[in-house]
Amino acid sequence: MSTAGPGVDTHEMVLIHRVIRREFGQLPRLLRSAADDRARSKAVGAHAREMLDFLHTHHTGEDELLFPLLRERAALDPQLMDRMDVQHTQINDAVAAVGAQLPAWTASADAAAGEQMAALIDATMPTLVDHLAEEEQELLPIVSVTLTQSEWDALGKHGMSAIPVTRRLVILGHITEEADDAERQRFMQVVPAPARLVYKLIGHRQFTRETAAIRG
Ligand SMILES: [Fe+2]
């Protein structure tokens, strides 16, 4: 049985996916650029850690709060749900493998270890890109009419609560970086007013400075 609401606005997931595509797409270049440069591996390593955590949280949120509801309500083709699970496992394995190597590399800037992680991310990108596109095209329209607003909101809260308070402004910068004006306004509506103000006053500058240094 469906408990469909009038149609939940799921567009914020598209903005989250843009962060994942953009940041993982350039991570191999950043890892390679820090070869034998320990000051740089410290900064790139921290950024990579943050993005691995961001992706991991995004997937665990879907595994725990989204996919079970879609299965329970038989909202989607079971084969598509199985494919989503397989893609999550493949991506999570790569995230875990990079995550395991990252602390030592962050400290050493070892060129071979950096290359190994970069190659693994490069090899995982096609699966990741396909997975995100399939979610956007096949899942989100169904999610919109299958989940209640509070069920959808729980997914956003799960993602937000996993981000350390001191990093939320920078993550907000990532999420809104490629958003057009309408998308930015729409997303900002779910951000508490005090945080919106602090982002405007200092957060955006912090995000711009930090990412410019990391991206080189
Ligand atoms: Fe997603």
Q: Which residues surround ligand 1, an ion (CB under 5 A)?
A: 135
Residue 169 to residue 183: CA distance in whole angstroms? 17
What is the distance, to the nearest Å, from the Cα of residue 66 to the centroid of all Cα atoms in its chain?
16
**Of 5-9, 23-27, 31-35, where does mean pLDDT reach its minimum?**
5-9
CATH number for position 47 = 1.20.120.520
Q: What's the confidence (pLDDT) of residue 76? A: 83
Q: Does residue 134 form part of some domain?
A: yes
Q: Does residue 140 form part of some domain?
A: yes
Distance 62 CA to ligand 1 centre (A): 7
Query: Is pLDDT of 182 > 60?
Result: yes
**Residues whose CB is less than 8 angstroms from the CB of residue 5 and which lie 6 or more positions away in sequence, other chains included:** 145, 147, 148, 149
Q: Does residue 171 form part of some domain?
A: no
Residue 178 to residue 187: CA distance in whole angstroms? 12
Q: Does residue 99 form part of some domain?
A: yes
What is the count of structural domains for the chain? 1
Q: What's the confidence (pLDDT) of residue 38? A: 98
Q: Does residue 170 form part of some domain?
A: no
- pLDDT grade for 74, boundaries at 50, 70 and 90: confident
Query: Is pLDDT of 84 > 50?
Result: yes
| Residue (of 124, 106, 123, 131) closest to 48 by Cα position | 106
Which domain does 15 fall in, by range? 11-163
Q: Does residue 101 form part of some domain?
A: yes
What is the distance, to the nearest Å, from the Cα of residue 118 to the centroid of all Cα atoms in its chain?
18
Query: Is pLDDT of 4 > 90?
Result: no
Q: Does residue 194 form part of some domain?
A: no
Decide: residue 16, CB within 10 A, 0-12 exposed, 13-18 middle, 19+ buried: buried
Query: Is pLDDT of 75 > 90?
Result: no
Q: Does residue 196 form part of some domain?
A: no
Distance 112 CA to ligand 1 centre (A): 32
